[in-house]
Amino acid sequence: MYYIHVNKNTILKNKKRGETTPAVRYQKGKYGESIYCNRLKFVEGEIIYKPTGEPLLPCGARLVIQTEIEPIVLE
């Protein structure tokens, strides 16, 4: 399973500092290595939001896109 997540803190930091640090990341499994990018393509999947209880990922993410097919980094 692959998990796609957008880091809101990176987006806010980019806006404040005028930077372009990639804010989109995906990883294989909940503890896999993170791949960062600005643009990503995925064929199919589902959006999962869990507002209460344990976060979906160890980083604290509560909203993720979950897909079985590896995403393709475009940028």
pLDDT (tens digit, 0 to 9) for every residue of the chain, 75 residues total?
999 999 999 999 999 999 999 999 999 999 999 999 999 999 999 999 999 999 999 999 999 999 999 999 998
Global pTM value:
0.87
- 27 closest CA partner among 61, 62, 70, 63: 70
Give CA–CA dist 27/48, Å, rounded.
Answer: 15
Give CA–CA dist 22/11, Å, rounded.
Answer: 8
